[in-house]
Amino acid sequence: MTGQHKGPDLNRLIIVANRVPNPRERGATAGGLAVALREAIAHRQALWFGWSGQTAEATAAAPAETRQGRLTYATLDLGEEDYRRYYRGFANATLWPTLHYRLGLAQFSREDYIGYRKVNAAFAAALAPLLRPSDLVWAHDFHLFPLGSELRRQGCRQRLGFFLHVPFPPYGLFSALPRSGELITDLAAYDVIGVQTEDDAANLRAALIAENQPEAATRVAAYPIGINAEGFTALAERAILGQETARFRQSLVGRALVIGVDRLDYTKGLPQRFCGYGQLLARFRQHLSRVTYLQVAPVSRGDVAEYRSLRKELDEWVGRINGQQAEPDWVPLRYMTRAVSRPTLAGFMRLARVGLVTPLRDGMNLVAKEYVAAQDPEDPGALVLSRFAGAAPQLPGALLVNPLDPDEIAEALDQALTMPREERLARWRPMAEEGRASGARAWCLSFIAALEGGG
Ligand code: ADQ
């Protein structure tokens, strides 16, 4: 980056997301989106608008604002009832499973849907008075399908963009969701409609056409999200020299490490993955006592029933695998449900001979990209990746698996664990180059260029 500030010439960027990062959380502890956006918008005025993460008796009408240089954070507390209906209900218990092709897990309640629309309308009403005519508005993710149309209802004429971080399923599946036609029609209010992959783009275009929005279908494009690969590499290089990684390495006593890092979510394919690892130990006996699998899976959405039962299921898998296979001096599967800091994760990923990333569906999956970025260029590990992760087309050097087939996972793990260094290098190098070329910053800038009307 040059030090030239072109701030005054650039339109102000308004980022709207369900969650707004804590202004005090910087660098290593902040979430990926926050880091990506912060870097890309460093030279322009920006306003980050959304939920504060706090609940109150009623949803606030006007946001609380915090300024930090060129960036202003404006956040609203949500009323308890709105939180339950909009966030826990329609966003997490209805849209999340549906968009991940899991219609069977989706619950629909008309009250939740009304609550979801109500919060989108409240966001729009609170945001509209803050907007200037030349602002660019960029709304993020499935919490905000109706935000654009609500802003238009408030009389906003600004350029509006929407980016969906999760998959968009085929229309036949999505249209089974009650009121889905309204949600698709809402998207037509946006000038730029971004998704992660070409498959998602094709699905969303077909949905818009089916709902009589053929013109809006032409505004859909894929903008695959990336990570700050150089930053993550540097983090891993530093962490590998630190005490925490050294202690962990010592505990492995020379065994090959397989690593998995995911939020504890039913889309991540964890039971099938554990079963696959169990199959590796049962079928490929040469790995007994020679491999350790560390799964880090911090609990998310612990108040939703599906997540509680998933946790129980995983506890059972861990007990079964370790109970059947462990030796007095070997625990085959180490499993942690508490969060681990990004530097520590980066160091652990660099240590790992295999990155195991097998979501049943995933918009992109940044962990796969982080694993590639964390590797030692002289002796990189191998990546086992679900073909249903949005990242799969961008990571051709990975061993692609069907995450529903534990035997296929076991076979890929065996191949990864026994892969010669030359092959690991040949697979890893192009992925690492691609990761650096299509990073978070490039993603942001290409979306913003489209929003400005130039892309
Ligand atoms: P997520 O479903 O959260 O994101 P992912 O893309 O893997 O999935 O990003 C998770 C981020 O959280 C990564 O940066 C990862 O390192 C971090 N993380 C995961 N587990 C962690 C742990 N145990 N401790 C600390 N950090 C952890 C959604 C979509 C994805 C899409 C992203 C970005 O579901 O498909 O790739 O948004 O668009």
* Domain-embedded: residue 7: no
The string of pLDDT tens digits covering residues 201-212 is 999 999 999 999
Q: How confident is the model at residue 307 (pLDDT cuts 50, 70, 90)?
A: confident
pLDDT of residue 4: 43
Measured from the CA of 370, which atom of ligand 1 is nearest?
16
| Statement: residue 3 has pLDDT above 50 | no
Considering its fold, how many domains does the chain have in total? 2
Strongest mean pLDDT among 9-18, 200-209, 332-341: 200-209
Q: Please give the distance, rounded to the nearest whole angstrom, from the Cα atom of residue 239 to the centre of ligand 1.
A: 20
* Domain-embedded: residue 2: no
Residues 84 and 154 grouped into a single domain:
yes
Provide the 10 A C-beta neighbour count for residue 254. Answer: 7
Mean pLDDT to the nearest integer, 339-367: 96
Q: What is the full DSSP assignment across 91-144?
A: IIIIIHHHHTT-GGG----HHHHHHHHHHHHHHHHHHGGG--TT-EEEEESGGG
Residues 83 and 53 grouped into a single domain:
yes
Measured from the CA of 367, which atom of ligand 1 is nearest?
7
Measured from the CA of 368, which atom of ligand 1 is nearest?
7
Mean pLDDT to the nearest integer, 167-182: 98
pLDDT of residue 29: 43
Collect all residues with Cβ–Cβ distance below 8 Å to 1 and sequence separation of at least 6: 42
d(CA 240, CA 447): 34
* Domain-embedded: residue 1: no
* Domain-embedded: residue 3: no
Closest CA to 89 of 62, 118, 63: 118
Q: Strands of 34-89 (E only): list them.
A: 46-56, 64-68, 71-79
* Domain-embedded: residue 126: yes
Probe ligand 1: pick from 18, 364, 369, 386, max atoms within 8 Å of CB?
Answer: 364
Probe ligand 1: pick from 263, 299, 336, max atoms within 8 Å of CB?
Answer: 263
Q: How confident is the model at residue 1 (pLDDT cuts 50, 70, 90)?
A: very low
* Domain-embedded: residue 4: no
Q: Is 425 left (phi over 0), alpha (psi -120 to 50) or beta?
A: alpha
For residue 390, report the phi and psi dihedrals to the nearest 5 degrees: -60, -25
Q: Please give the distance, rounded to the nearest whole angstrom, from the Cα atom of residue 338 to the centre of ligand 1.
A: 15
Assign 381 to helix, strand or coil.
coil
Residues 214 and 314 grouped into a single domain:
no
Tokens at 219, concatenated: 């505004």
Percent of the chain with pLDDT over 70: 95
Bridge partners of 355, per DSSP, are: 259, 383
Annotation marks residue 165 as catalytic: yes
Tokens at 325, concatenated: 């296979």
Residues 203 and 186 grouped into a single domain:
yes
Residues 193 and 262 grouped into a single domain:
no
Q: How confident is the model at residue 7 (pLDDT cuts 50, 70, 90)?
A: very low
List Cα–Cα distances, 110 to 12, 27, 89, 305, in angstroms. 37, 40, 10, 19
Q: List b or e across 155-170, with b for residues whose CB sees 16 or more CB atoms inside 10 angstroms.
A: ebebbbbbbbbbbbbe
Residues 184 and 333 grouped into a single domain:
no
The CATH number that applies at residue 242 is 3.40.50.2000
Residues 214 and 247 grouped into a single domain:
no
* Domain-embedded: residue 144: yes
> pTM of the full predicted structure?
0.95
Q: How confident is the model at residue 8 (pLDDT cuts 50, 70, 90)?
A: low
pLDDT of residue 25: 64
Q: Please give the distance, rounded to the nearest whole angstrom, from the Cα atom of residue 279 to the centre of ligand 1.
A: 27
Active-site pick, 165, 186, 262, 265: 165
The alpha carbon dihedral of 379, 229, 342, 97 has a sign of negative
Residues 142 and 222 grouped into a single domain:
yes
Residues with CB under 6 A from ligand 1: 32, 165-166, 225, 261-263, 296, 298, 339-340, 345, 362-367, 370
Under 8 Å between Cβ of 354 and 256: yes
Annotation marks residue 362 as catalytic: yes
d(CA 250, CA 227): 30
d(CA 10, CA 348): 40
pLDDT of residue 351: 98
| Statement: residue 234 has pLDDT above 50 | yes
The string of pLDDT tens digits covering residues 82-91 is 999 999 999 9
Residues 207 and 254 grouped into a single domain:
no
Residues 142 and 262 grouped into a single domain:
no
The string of pLDDT tens digits covering residues 15-69 is 999 998 877 765 444 456 776 677 767 788 999 999 999 999 999 999 999 998 8
Q: What is the mean pLDDT of the chain?
A: 93
* Domain-embedded: residue 6: no
| Statement: residue 448 has pLDDT above 90 | yes
Residues 93 and 105 grouped into a single domain:
yes
| Statement: residue 117 has pLDDT above 60 | yes
Residues 48 and 179 grouped into a single domain:
yes
- Domain range enclosing 382: 229-437
Distance of CA 316 to the CA centre of its chain: 26
